[in-house]
Structures are given as structure tokens and as C-alpha cells.
Structure 1
Amino acid sequence: MKLGLALGYWGAGPPPDLAERIRAAEDLGFDSVWAAEAYGSDALTPLAWHGAATSRLRLGTSIAQLSARTPAATAMAAMTMDHLSGGRFVLGLGASGPQVVEGWYGQPYPRPLARTREYVQIVRRIIRRETSEYAGEHYRLPAAGGTGLGKPLRSTLHPRRADLPIHLAAEGPRNVALAAEIADGWLAMFYSPWADEHYRAALAEGFARPGARRSAADFEVVCRVNVELDDDPEVAADRVRPMLALYIGGMGARGANFHRDVFVRMGFEAECARIQEHYLAGRRDEAAASVTLPMVERVALVGPPDKIAGELAAWRESLVTTMLVSGDAPTLAAIAGLLG
């Protein structure tokens, strides 16, 4: 299992030690670094800026949101990044959720799986330098209507790699199966090695579909895992609880929260109801306090080194091929020593 550095997305501004973290990751032998976007900082610019100071780390987006760019713009950015990095770029894509897609980008969210399939098909066509002509349900090139002067085009840029890897973010079983069918990897979130039977079944379904790109043997599973070291597991879990409360309670509406659904499938339906009730009522501290230690331990590594070391066997035997961690340079060194 490889280690990757998760940069996430910025808060009010860029973390002051971002460059130091990335240097530490490369020096420690990490495999990759990944940047994200929500509705603030974007995923590509930090990788281009800081990636220029690296020579070995793979540079991935986890994720670039589909609605943020047209398929052509994403293909252009991916090819450009791949050239600038010497073939180290990984394009991680995700549909995001209706709050961001419709509220921030002003685009409709329904049928995200069908949109994802068409989007990836267009991106791959452009990277292979085929014409941009495409007639789908959600995307049409050239555009219908308008002046009528649009014509299919071929990229002037030749790709460094015509098979540039594309990973898909997915939480629900149908989306995970789609990733196994059309992508080179799966960007997992809130994955638990102790409750992954439905993920294994979904991946197997995707690999078995006609025309699937990969098999289980050459498919990458990249997963963000919070690693918090402390002699007291409860204290370590306190550093994870606010984030889980945000995603379970505040990301999405009461009846449409994909992150909450993940924990419900793990058996925490009652806990999720309490967390969501508190969060949507503005009681964020109570929401975080309602995240139990077992919930944290299902998706994170928290506590003293010997406890974490004992739990690592399950992760090494899991579907995860690259574990994404975060922290300052000393924390990354401690994690590398423990997980390496």
C-alpha cells in the first residue's frame, strides 16, 4: 500500500506550510500528492504551482468537479499538466453534489452517472486527438443551435500519454461499479476495511461489464484516511469528529446526503440521525460530540502507535492501494514511520 499526501482545498487562504509539506512528502518517499476543490480554491493550480518543485511525486486531483469545466477544458488542462510534470498527472473526476453543482455552477445535477460516462468519453476522445464530435444526452459537440458555425475540432496539442489515467470519485455502489467499468482507479471516501462487501461486489460488477478498461489486478483504489496519533484514542478522535459531523450532518439536504448514506450502510443510522439533526439546527458542537468513537475508528486510524499498528493489517488487506494522509512535515514523518 502506497502513501499519498492529501492537500484538500483551502479555507480562507493557502496553508502557510504547503510547500514544506509537499517537500517532506517527496523526501519521505510518498507516491503522490492530491489537491481538491469545492467552491473556493481550485484543484489544478496548486498542483501546477507546487508540483513544479517536485520531480517524482504523481500529481492528482481528488477531485476536479465535472461541472466546473467543460469536458474539452478538462482534457486541455490534463494534457497540459501531463506535459509540464513529465507524465506524472492523474485526472481525478467527480460529480460533486446538487448543492454545489446547482448552487455554485448553475448546472442541473440529475442523472450524475450518465453525465459522468459521457464526460469521460469526451475527455478520452480529445486526449487521443480524435475529433471533438459527440452526440449524447447531456453533451453535444458541436453545440446544438447557436450560429451553426461550430465544427468538430482536433486538439493541436499532442498528448504525452494518450492513455492518461482517469480516476472517478464514488461513494454509492452504482457509482463505484461505473468507476470499475470506465476508469483507471477509484477515489474512495469514508471507506472502511471492516465493511466493504458492497464495494467489492460493485467493483466486481464493473470489471465484468463488456469493454471494462481494467481488472482488479491493475485498478487503483485511492482513499483519504485520517491518521491521528495520541495516547488517548478519544482525544485523537476529537480531531476527526468535526469533519465527520460536517459531512454526515451538513453536506447535502436532510433526505439527500451521500456521505450520511455511507455511514448508514455501516450500521450507524441512529447516530447519523442525531448528528444531522444537531447540525441542521446549527448545533455543530453537539453534532461533533454525537460522532462516536466506533464511527471514527471505522474510517480513520486514531490513538497510540501500537493501537494503530494493530489495525493496519486490515487496511493492508483491504481494497486500498494508495492511502492519502495529511499533516505538517513532522506529522508526515511520524505517519511514514508507522505506515511505511
Structure 2
Amino acid sequence: MTAPTRRLAVGVTPMESRHEVVLHLAERAEELGYDAFLLAEGWGHDAPVLLGTIAARTSRIRLGTGVLNVWGRSPAGIAMLAASLDAVSGGRFVLGLGAGSPQLAEGWHDQRFAVPVARLESVTREVRALLAGERMSPSLADGQRPLRLAVEPRPGIPVHLAGLGPRAVRLAGEIADAWYPFLLPRSGLPDGVQLLQDGAIDAARPVPLVSPGLPVAVARDPATARAMASWWVVTYLTGMGPIYGRTLRRLGLGGAVDVVLDANRTRGSTEIPSDAQVLIDELVISGSAETGRAGIAGWFDAGAELPVLVLPPGRPVAELEYALEVLRPTDVRSR
């Protein structure tokens, strides 16, 4: 008897600057049976513009922002883009939101990175209200009449929230349709699911879908796979703000974090000493096709419901296609 297929999604980071590659990967993901294609926005391409192009080139795969930060657009702007992308994709859009980082908020959008979880909550609630047909809730008391969306969006456009800290995870349980943690260790997923459930119980609503973002480093050549896995870990611990290291320390992996930081004091270094191998094992889908599929199965066993396979930026297209093909949705139950 054939085992049921478990759903998988594909994600692309803001560092993938080749727009033609992004479009190609989305089309290929649809051909291979992936459930969704998620495009993150940082300081490069405007994600909604590319997603609109992808919507015109695909017909089945769901499309989403994975994720859009809450500093670069007003709630009204986010609501308009969500309604528009959902319309042009034929109801396939998923709105992914996240608090981003101090560098992104202050170094790019010139917005003070203050109380990020509160900002994430207020923007998400305002966007949901606007998509439900309610009027804007302006903070300026100058007598202007609050507006509502001039188009009628599809009811229930899904909202996914990124989050690693306990408060952000509970918030996802309270107001989101899915939780999208990126670079969370696999051993930390069950505790995160418990926080998610606690938030949902407090809000008397269904528990959101568990949809972790998993960095991919799978290649035919073992040395290439190892180099990619090391790049993921070192880059996010040394160059992407404090949240990732702080999360790993909170979940008992601080010793390995210190080893990586000590080994990579030189800019451009991406070395993972053997006594920090646990970080690759916990964070990255890596190695051969076989070990990659086994790694995905382990995430399902830990509580993931729709893992998002996040592709490394800047790699040869043939290498990225290989990973998509060998990890495509099939029977990925534990072997």
C-alpha cells in the first residue's frame, strides 16, 4: 500500500538577487508537486512584484511572502498587496509577516526597531481587520474619515507569522493561521509547538499550522553539501543579528554557538568545527539525497506539518534544481 504524500513548500531568501532564477524555481516547484512557494523580502527585489509575475506563470502552487517585515509598509499597504496578489493568483496567496531585524528596520527602512513583537501584533491585527472589510484605525486625530479597502478581498486570506522567541510564538498561536520559524533547532520544535498551542488555547481558536523554514544544503558532491551547510550556520550566527544565537542559547546549544563564533572571527570564514556539528544536524537539511530526505522525515516526526525547504542563495541553478528534485514531496515518513 502506498503511503500518503506529505506536503512540502519551497522558500527563497532575500539574498537571492537573480530574479530570473526565482521565477524559474517557482515554476519548477509547481512541476515537482510542492505545495507552496514562499519569497522573502529584504533589501533587494520587491517580493510582491515577483510574486505577481509568478502568479501569471503558474496555476496550482500557493504563493506567499515568506516573510514580509512589518517595518517597510503600513498596514494599509500590506492589506492592499495581499488583496491584490490573492486576486491575481486566483486565491492562492498566503501573507507571511515577521518582525525582521534591527538592521532591516533601522538600516534600510529608517524605522526604530522598538517592541518588535508588539509591532508585529498591531500590524497583523490591523491588516486582518482591513481584509475583513473594516475601516482603518488611524492614530492621527485630525478629523479625516477612516477609509476601507475599495476592493472586496477573498475571505480568510491566510496569515503566517514568523517567530522564534516565546512571546512571538505565543502570538502566532493567538492570531495566525500558521507559524513559520526559521533556523529553529529540530529539538526545539516540540517546545515551540507547546507555546503555539498555549497561545491558541488562550485565544480560543484552532492551533495554527506548524510550518518551519529549513535551510537546504543537499548536493551530489559531499564537499559541496558540507560547504553549503557551514555557510548557512555561520552566516546567520555572525551576520544576521542576535536573534538566532540567542534562540540557540536558550534551547541549550550555546556551547556550539560559541565554538562557531570563535572559529569564524575572520570575515568570510565559514568553518564548522567537529564539536559544533550538532548545529548542522539540528538546523540544516544537508548531505546526500538520502540523508536530506531522512532529515525532512525527522522534522515531521518532531511535529512539523508543512516544512518549507529554503534554498541557498547564489548557487548554480543546476544545483538548486537537483535539491528540489531529490527532496520533492513523496513518502517522507521515517524509515
- How does the TM-score come out when normalised to structure 2? 0.86
AA in 1 matched with 2:50: P
Other-structure match for 1:136: none
Match of 2:324 among 329, 332, 339: 332
Task: Quote the offset at 1:10 in angstroms.
Answer: 4.2
Q: For 2:176 and 2:329, how far apart are their aligned partners in 1?
A: 32
- Among 43, 55, 67, the alignment partner of 1:51 is 55
Q: In the aligned structure 2, how far is the partner of 1:266 from the partner of 1:232?
A: 32
Q: Report the AA paired with residue 326 of structure 2.
A: A
Q: Which runs of structure 2 are paired with 1:212-231 in the superposition (5 Å)? A: 212-215=204-207, 219-230=208-219
Secondary structure of residue in 2 paired with 1:6:
strand
Q: Which residue of 1 aligns with 2:268?
A: 284
On the 8 A contact 2:183/2:283 being kept in 1, the answer is yes
Does residue 207 in structure 1 map to residue 193 in structure 2? no
Tell me the amino acid that sits aligned with residue 263 of structure 1: L
Cα deviation digits, residues 308-332 of structure 1 (max 9, x gap): 4444442222222222223633331
| TM-score, normalised with respect to structure 1 | 0.85
Q: Is residue 321 from structure 1 mapped to residue 301 from structure 2 by the alignment?
A: no
Give the partner amino acid of 2:149. S
Counterparts in 2 of 1:201 and 1:221: CA distance versus 1, 3 Å: closer
Distance across 2 between alignment mates of 1:34 and 1:160: 20
Partner amino acid, structure 2, of 1:56: R
What is the aligned counterpart of 1:196 among 176, 189, 214?
189
- List per-residue Cα deviations over 1:48-104 (Å, max 9, x = no partner): 112210001111101111001000000011011111111110000011112221222
Confirm or deny: 8 A CA contact 1:43 1:63 kept in the other structure: no
Report SS of the residue matched to 2:9. strand
Other structure's SS at 2:212 match: strand
RMSD value over aligned CA atoms? Answer: 2.3
Give the one of 33, 55, 65 matched to 1:29: 33
Displacement of 1:270 in angstroms is: 2.6
Shift of 1:290: 4.3
Matched with 1:119 is 123
Alpha-carbon offset, residue 23 of structure 1: 1.8
Structure 2 CA distance, aligned partners of 1:311 and 1:167?
24
Alignment-derived partner of residue 70 in structure 1: 74
Unaligned 5+ segments in structure 1 are 134-140
Letter in 2 for 1:168: L
Query: What SS class does the counterpart of residue 187 from structure 2 fall into?
Result: coil
Runs of 4+ in structure 1 deviating by more than 6 angstroms, as ranges, are: none
Structure 2 counterpart of 1:289, which letter? I
Can you list the C-alpha shifts for 1:249-304, whole angstroms capped at 9, x where unaligned?
Answer: 2222xxxx11112222343313322433565x54331x533483221011222223
* AA partner of residue 166 (structure 1): V
Q: Secondary structure at the match of 2:308?
A: strand
- 2:136 corresponds in structure 1 to 132
In structure 2, C-alpha distance between the alignment counterparts of 1:153 and 1:230, rounded to whole Å: 51
User: For residue 137 of structure 1, what is the aligned residue in structure 2?
Assistant: none
- Counterpart pick for 1:271 among 247, 256, 273: 256
Distance 1:320 1:337, change over 3 A: closer
> Residue deviations 1:211-257, cap 9 Å, x none?
x4422xxx2222222343357766523212122111112222xxxx1
Q: Which residue of 2 aligns with 1:159?
A: 153
Matched residue, 1:5: 10
Task: State, as a whole percentage, how many aligned pairs show the same letter.
Answer: 29
Q: Residue in 2 aligned with 1:138?
A: none
Question: Comparing both chains, which one has the higher relative contact order based on Cα–Cα distances under 8 Å and sequence gaps of 6 or more?
Answer: 2
The DSSP-based 3-state class of the residue aligned with 1:317 is: helix
Separation in structure 2 between the aligned mates of residue 90 and residue 258 of structure 1, nearest angstrom: 25
Counterpart for residue 45 of structure 2 = 41
Given the superposition, is the C-alpha separation of residues 174 and 234 from structure 1 closer, same or farther in structure 2, using an over 3 Å criterion?
farther
Q: Do the aligned partners of residues 149 and 230 (structure 1) sit closer, same or farther apart at CA in structure 2, a change above 3 Å counting? A: closer
- Pick closer, same or farther for the CA change 1:10–1:273 going to 2, 3 Å: closer
C-alpha contact 1:223 1:322 (8 A) present in aligned 2: yes
**Residues in 2 aligned to 1:246 and 1:186: alpha-carbon distance in whole angstroms:** 23
